[in-house]
Amino acid sequence: MAELVEQVRAFTEWVGAGRKLTQTGRLTLADAKALVPLLGTSDVLEQTIGDHVYRTRSSERLLDLMLVVECAKVAGLVRKTGQRLVQVKKNQALLDDPQKLWLALFTRFDQVGEVFLRPGFGESLLRPEFADGSRAALTSLYNAEGAVDIARLCTTVWNVVSAPYVLDDLTELQLETLRITTDRDTKQVLEALRRLGAVTLRDESAELTDLGRAGMRRLLGMPEAGDPIYQVKITLLEIEGLPVWRRVLVPADIRLDRLHVVIQAAMGWENYHLHYFLDGETHYGEAEPELQYRDERKVRLKDLVKPGGRLEYNYDFGDSWDHEILVEEAKVATADGRYPRCVAGQAACPPEDVGGTGGYARLIQILGEPGHEEHQDIVGWLGLDDPSRFDAARFSLDEANQRLAVQR
């Protein structure tokens, strides 16, 4: 059994009937000190530097232990209720099924968050962007045929986690420090995945284990033969002229955050903007407190929609592109099938930031009128040498599936 899985099991059993928490909802320092040797974490309770002894004064500073605690939480084995930490009885069967427990921990690893990465002074960009950064590392490992240089993984993660920030005003030293701390935390993530049994680390490279590769297939929504899949039709609403739609085969239990990626790739969007799903009553989206959406990572398509049912998807709150997701029928995956897979479609995806359905209609109108005063401006905005190169009716099934393959 993987080291981290065993530690999570032992911690859950230690919680037993419940343990008292501090007023801030943390483990008491006394309990934390007892857990470090019990679980065999690598945390240092006190450190001597010169003549001074530095002692840990808060459990949240024991980052290795915090990883174990958070893993138990995201797996649904324990939860905080009031000022106590208690077991979740309905999920205790996971403790007797190491395979299911491992899968629960692996597929929810991106929900662990920043608890086991260094906070405060010297904090990295990976810490607040943990979900995207950890997923980028795993996807890069999955797409590789063999081992990947850790330096290359660090670059991949840096490119992803730094993208949301404007760093132009930083000094060279500040930028270098951010990069160093982010690389440090990327290696911490790889070490955590090694302890989970998902990654093998050797020399300066990392590689997914067979277990990790199987877990990635589940994480990316790639079903096994015989598993249920949905045939869904994604239609862009309120488009004048030729309707824009895609027909896609997806696993029935695909998470909504993965379905978002599928829609982006199949339609041809570039994932620049925010989005949400709506089932008629509840909004689902990224776990941002300001948005107050239900976390899309914790909801699966089959739990919201059955064959014949519909779901709304909105992309870009400015242009407000509304899509209808119609579950046309339920099927089963075949042994040689690739999922998600686009099987049909019609018309081109509108350009990003064109101004919504009204702006898109106006763009098409101006492109069709070479004498229009804004014609050349629109051609230049699209980055075209020849306006005929933009064909609103064009759809390529091969290109749609190439985009889907890259997004995995």
Percent of the chain's residues with pLDDT above 70: 97
Is residue 260 a contact partner of residue 244, using CB atoms and an 8 Å limit?
no
pLDDT of residue 46: 66
Beta strand 205-208 with 199-202: parallel, antiparallel or unpaired?
Answer: antiparallel
Q: Which two tokens stand for residue 217?
A: 């297939």
pLDDT confidence band for 342 (50 / 70 / 90): very high
Distance CA 208, CA 331 (A): 31
Report cis status (omega within 30 of 0) of the bond before 340: yes
Q: Which two tokens stand for residue 265?
A: 């790739």
Is residue 53 a contact partner of residue 46, using CB atoms and an 8 Å limit?
yes
pLDDT confidence band for 50 (50 / 70 / 90): low
Distance CA 162, CA 50 (A): 38
Determine whether domain 228-347+399-407 maps to CATH 1.10.540.10: no
Most confident of 213-222, 323-332, 396-405: 323-332
Asked whether residue 388 carries a pLDDT value surpassing 80, the answer given is no
Neighbours of 86 (CB within 10 A): 15
pLDDT tens digits for range 180-208: 999 999 999 999 999 999 999 998 999 99
pLDDT of residue 52: 64
Mean pLDDT is lowest, of 64-73, 214-223, 255-264, 280-289, for 214-223
Query: Which residue type is seen at 367?
Result: L
> Three-class SS string for the chain?
CCHHHHHHHHHHHHHCCCEEECCCCCECHHHHHHHHHHHCCCCCCEEEECCEEEECCCHHHCHHHHHHHHHHHHCCCEEEECCEEEECHHHHHHHHCHHHHHHHHHHCHHHCCCCCCCCCCCCCCCCCCHHHHHHHHHHHHHHCCCCEEHHHHHHHHHHHHHCCCCCCCCCHHHHHHHHHHHHHHHHHHHHHHHHCCCEEEECCEEEECHHHHHHHHHHCCCCCCCCEEEEEEEEECCCCCCCEEEEEEEECCCEHHHHHHHHHHHHCCCCCCCEEEECCCCEEECCCCCCCCEEHHHCEHHHHCCCCCEEEEEECCCCCEEEEEEEEEEEECCCCCCCCEEEEEECCCCCCCCCHHHHHHHHHHHHCCCCCCCHHHHHHHCCCCCHHHCCCCCCCHHHHHHHHHHHC
Distance CA 308, CA 321 (A): 22
Q: What is the pTM of this model?
A: 0.67
pLDDT confidence band for 404 (50 / 70 / 90): confident
pLDDT of residue 372: 92
Higher pLDDT, 145 or 348: 348
What is the mean predicted confidence (pLDDT) over 62-67?
A: 91
pLDDT of residue 127: 93
Asked whether residue 150 carries a pLDDT value surpassing 70, the answer given is yes
What is the mean predicted confidence (pLDDT) over 334-348?
A: 91
Residue with tokens 């699209």: 382
Asked whether residue 286 carries a pLDDT value surpassing 80, the answer given is yes
pLDDT confidence band for 114 (50 / 70 / 90): confident
Percent of the chain's residues with pLDDT above 90: 70
pLDDT of residue 1: 81
pLDDT of residue 217: 82
Asked whether residue 368 carries a pLDDT value surpassing 60, the answer given is yes
Homologous superfamily assigned to 111-219? MukE-like family, C-terminal domain (1.10.10.2260)
Q: In the chain, which segments carry CATH 1.10.10.2260? A: 111-219
pLDDT confidence band for 408 (50 / 70 / 90): low
Q: In the chain, which segments carry CATH 3.10.290.30? A: 228-347+399-407
Neighbours of 219 (CB within 10 A): 22
pLDDT of residue 362: 93
Is residue 206 a contact partner of residue 139, using CB atoms and an 8 Å limit?
no
Neighbours of 139 (CB within 10 A): 18
